[in-house]
Structure 1
Amino acid sequence: MKQPNILITGTPGVGKSYLSQRLAKKFGFKWQNVSDIVSEHGFVEEYDEEFECPVLDEDRLLDYLEPIMQEGGNVVEYHSSEFFPQRWFDVVYVVRCGTSILYERLQERGYNERKVRSNMECEIFQIPLDEAKDSYLSAIIYELQSDKDSDLEDNLTKVSEWLENWRSTNKSQ
């Protein structure tokens, strides 16, 4: 049986990487950290000086990921989701975080004030959640709160339950 592909998305600093690493390890999935893939393979069109970040070459990234995604068993992590094909994912988790906690996390990362403000606005206005809702079937989108350590364990349990249900539903495939 082919394993499902899971998308973990959300504003930078909400806890996507930590959750993705734990999920991949727990279930034996491959963690596809899109930011690392972009850096490693140079899938960059230019560098945005204002926000101090690379501008993604989506076409080259998608061409690279296509055969990987066909294999299944991937946890894909990225702060944006709208450009990924819907067919790639069996479930989409949007990780959320309280703004006061997020502000502290972004400050600890050393982000400049403009980048902190931009990411805070993304979380306040639910940009990652809206992107997911505009790009994927509502039935496969779930929100996960990631404010404290106990939230991580709760989130792992929620994903475990989803995976157990997915496996029982897809036994014959």
Structure 2
Amino acid sequence: MRVAVTGTPGTGKTTATEILDTDLDVVHLNEAIREKGLYERVDEERDSVVVDLDAASEWIGDRDDIVIDSHLAHHLDADRVVVLRCRPDVLEERLIERGEGEASAAENAESEALDVILSEAVDAHGAESVYEIEATERTPGDVALEIQSVVDGEREPSAGEVSYIDYL
């Protein structure tokens, strides 16, 4: 089984997957992208890289029994897609606290309010394969348990249950 854990930067993906209790291999794709050079170029203005999704997919290969953690994971083949969500105002605050610029943090908060990653995940994988987890007020351990319930097949798909449209 291949599980993608995705969400807007700052929703808690890496923190939760680092403590996930699973037999599946956990791959932090953003680390691999930088370490393995799985990007096309550096975007100096945004202080980020433009990822080569084909190279990332090729690097993952045919590996099954894997959890892929990244805000881009939903662009890769997966059996189940977990989308972590966070209230946009809290998300923006988290991103600024970890050193993101105000413009980038605001852009990510707006993206979260507009359900951008959730919409992309549903478009790519279908609502029947997408599991939305509201992580704003949950501890990383609680979020990891929710992800585990998806991995174990104990949770029903739940795309579209979280809405932050009032943020706009």
Higher percent of residues as helix = 1
- Separation (CA, whole Å) in 2 of partners of 1:14 and 1:29: 22
Would you say the 8 A contact 1:16–1:77 is kept in 2?
A: yes
**Could you tell me the percent identity over the aligned residues?**
27
Q: What is the match of residue 123 of structure 2?
A: 134
* Cα 1:11–1:162 shift into 2, 3 Å: closer
Number of aligned residue pairs: give it: 154
Following superposition, the deviation at residue 164 of structure 1 comes to 3.6
CA distance in 1: counterparts of 2:148 and 2:55, whole angstroms: 32
Instruction: Give the aligned residue type for 2:69.
Output: E
Equivalent residue of 1:13, what SS? coil
Q: Which digits, 9 at most, give the CA deviation of each residue in 1:134-170, with x for residues without a partner?
A: 00021111110111344x444333333344447xxxx
Report SS of the residue matched to 1:119.
helix
Partners in 2 of 1:103 and 1:6 — Cα distance?
26
Work out whether 1:7 is the aligned partner of 2:4: yes
Query: 2:29 touches 2:73 (CA, 8 Å); kept in 1?
Result: no
Residue 38 in structure 1 maps to residue 33 in structure 2: yes
TM alignment of 1:24-35, pairs within 5 A: 26-35=21-30
Instruction: State the structure with more CA Rg.
Output: 1
Q: How does 1:1-173 map to 2 (within 5 A)?
A: 4-23=1-20, 26-67=21-62, 69=63, 72-81=64-73, 83-85=75-77, 89-150=78-139, 152-165=140-153
CA distance in 2, matches of 1:127, 1:20: 21
Offset at residue 100 of structure 1 (A) = 1.9
Q: CA deviation at 1:41?
A: 0.6
* Length-normalised TM-score, structure 2: 0.83
Q: Secondary structure at the match of 2:30?
A: helix
RMSD: 1.8
What is the deviation of 1:40?
Answer: 0.8
Q: How far does residue 58 in structure 1 lie from its aligned partner after superposition? A: 1.7
* Residue 12 of structure 1, CA deviation: 0.2
Amino acid at match of 1:37: A
Q: State the distance in 2 between where 1:60 and 1:156 align.
A: 28
- C-alpha distance 112-48 of structure 1, shift in aligned 2 (>3 A): same
- Is residue 80–residue 131 contact of structure 1 (8 Å, CA) maintained in 2? no
Question: Displacement of 1:118 after TM fit?
Answer: 1.5
Assess, with a 3 A threshold, how the Cα gap between structure 1 residues 31 and 165 changes in structure 2: closer, same or farther.
closer
Residue 55 of structure 1 and its aligned partner are, at CA, apart by: 0.6
Partner SS for 2:61: helix
Structure 1 residues not aligned, in runs of 5+: 167-173
Report the alpha carbon displacement of residue 20 of structure 1 after superposing the two structures with TM.
Answer: 1.3
